[in-house]
Structure 1
């Protein structure tokens, strides 16, 4: 059994018209393309059950979907179209090489579920059907967040800082370097007994894809079981869940310990197309509770 830590870099067309207003006039074929992120770099490191490194890979992927680099992506990753064309391999070659690192019993790991989801999404787009090697999966962001005692998802840089791991900021947003930093975090908090509780055996059923059309989401509150983080008693919600920025929010009071609770629901979609809720409940002080109360009342009045 081993662990294969992967990291990807993507190109996309997000906010591309800020840099080229007539972009979609020039590239009408990209206006409704059925792919949001194209994988342009794969980094992966394999370690055994003792955390000893046994293999690594780093490959640029020659683009076949987006013919230009988004300036935002180049600014962050320093990857240019010239580099991809000269040094890149095909998507199939990249996937075959990654697949070759993974043996039966290995666990694929990444910081958050975005990368494993994009491997499957990009594979479907490219008709790359040999995904039988994607079996057991570990979200190292989720594992690290829980082990380090945080309620909300940690960024990789935050985890590195908390563990006092030295970081060269100029090396971030490089697929292999980010995989190495992710591995360093994992090594610091690895527990072979505890980690088994976080390994996912059905990647397709896990909440992995960010939902953008939140305005069209209706929360089925009957399926929720909102509980107090202090005493685990079911909370009496004072408001229906309302969309507030990037998540749904409600407030309530615990009938047992009288704690004032902020309940947040982050909606994600599985690779099977079903919506799933990630629930975060936080105890609020009186002032913060009233602040959320007035925000929700304002949303009610805007109906």
Structure 2
């Protein structure tokens, strides 16, 4: 892949969320900055624009303290539709988007949707979360560090203010260029646009786990009774496997089970129930092989949850 677009957004918000034509806009984008990188990790361009607010005409104090942009500054910018049209033209064909953290693509598409613009994809959009990739390469893969922490740990010169779109995109691009190509396999998906049909669903196997993003369901009950969502089979040999820890949940949003593949060992399944923009439900399921010790820990959590449910039942009876 080439044509990497490393971008960053700054946004403003109001005291209450504004709606129009049934669409809400909690965060209005006020600045976009980006760096284009080719397949050889050479910079081939920069993009930087202020955006004139059309929804929130006062600067929220949190935003003002963080990014030091005034409303007077923003009046010099163009409207969102003009800027985003220029940005997408500048991105070129088949861009691979890269951001620090998972939020920017979602908010970009939410702002596009608010103005009835065509979205970036008709299904979940693959991208590189550089924050996650930094953690995978340099730390434990789980921690999510600030952009400034990452630049400090790599000994980079801090020659631009943080929390401005172009300088944050610049720092992110520098970190991206330091990454080993082997971590590029760990790409992420932006789920602002969720699968609507089975052929749009995501089935993918990574180095250490597998991921499935389901189509939308009208109700949680319909989702939780779907055989593909709640079914488990070994993602390596594709054979049905016996469940050793039945599905349980601590909060009604995350569901866990453990099954045993005779060839590959214990496999943990985690299903996250999420709400789509349509207010329907979809699931993100991850499958991962775990150790015997981790299996026993999962079993103990399951039994504790069952005990708690039994205790609650007895209290209420």
Displacement of 1:170 after TM fit? 8.9
RMSD: 4.9
Task: Give the TM-score of the pair, scaled to structure 1.
Answer: 0.66
Q: CA deviation at 1:85?
A: 3.4
Query: Structure 1, unaligned stretches of length 5 or more?
Result: 17-23, 209-215
CA offset at residue 280 of structure 1?
Answer: 5.6
Equivalent residue runs for 1:39-188 within 5 Å:
39-75=29-65, 77-82=66-71, 84-129=73-118, 137-141=126-130, 144=133, 148=137, 155=144, 157=146, 161=150, 164-166=153-155, 171-188=161-178
Q: Is the 8 A contact 1:3 1:47 kept in 2?
A: yes
Structure 1 pair 302–78 and aligned structure 2 pair: CA distance change class (3 A): farther
Counterpart Cα distance in 2 of 1:126 and 1:265: 33
**Inter-CA distance 263–145: structure 2 relative to 1 (3 Å threshold):** farther
**1:266 match: secondary structure:** strand
Q: Distance in 2 between the 1:68 and 1:84 partners?
A: 12
For each residue in 1:123-149, what CA deviation from the matched residue of structure 2 results, as whole angstroms up to 9, or x when unmatched? 1212334869x9985233497279639
2:7 equivalent in structure 1:
6
Q: TM-score scaled by structure 2?
A: 0.64
- Shift in CA distance, 59/28, structure 1 to aligned 2, threshold 3 Å: closer
Q: Within 1, Cα distance between the matches of 2:95 and 2:225? A: 37
Distance 1:143 1:82, change over 3 A: closer
**Counterpart for residue 275 of structure 1:** 282
Q: Deviations over 1:177-214 (max 9, x none)?
A: 332232233212253x88489598x9945699xxxxxx
| Distance change in 2, residues 1:176/1:269 (3 Å) | farther
After superposition, the Cα gap between the structure-2 partners of 1:153 and 1:122, relative to the gap in structure 1 and judged at 3 Å, is farther
Residue 308 of structure 2 corresponds to residue 298 of structure 1: yes
1:258, 1:146 → 2: CA distance?
27
Q: 1:217 is matched with which residue?
A: 220
1:235/1:90 CA distance change after superposition, 3 Å: farther
Q: How far does the alpha carbon of each residue in 1:9-41 deviate from its partner, in whole angstroms, 9 at most, with x for none?
A: 22234xx4xxxxxxx6xx9989x8622222122
Decide whether aligned partners of structure 1 residues 163 and 100 sit closer, same or farther in structure 2, where only a CA change above 3 A counts.
same
Compared with structure 1, are the counterparts of its residues 254 and 139 closer, same or farther at alpha carbon in structure 2 (3 Å cutoff)?
A: same
What SS does the aligned partner of 2:5 have? strand
Go from structure 1 to structure 2 and tell me whether the alpha carbon gap of 1:252 and 1:48 turns closer, same or farther (over 3 Å shift): closer
Mapping for residues 223-234 of structure 1, pairs under 5 Å: 223-224=228-229, 225-226=231-232, 234=241
Separation of aligned partners in 2, 1:226 and 1:59 = 47
> Is 2:275–2:282's contact at 8 Å kept on the other side of the alignment?
yes
Q: Name the count of aligned residue pairs.
A: 280
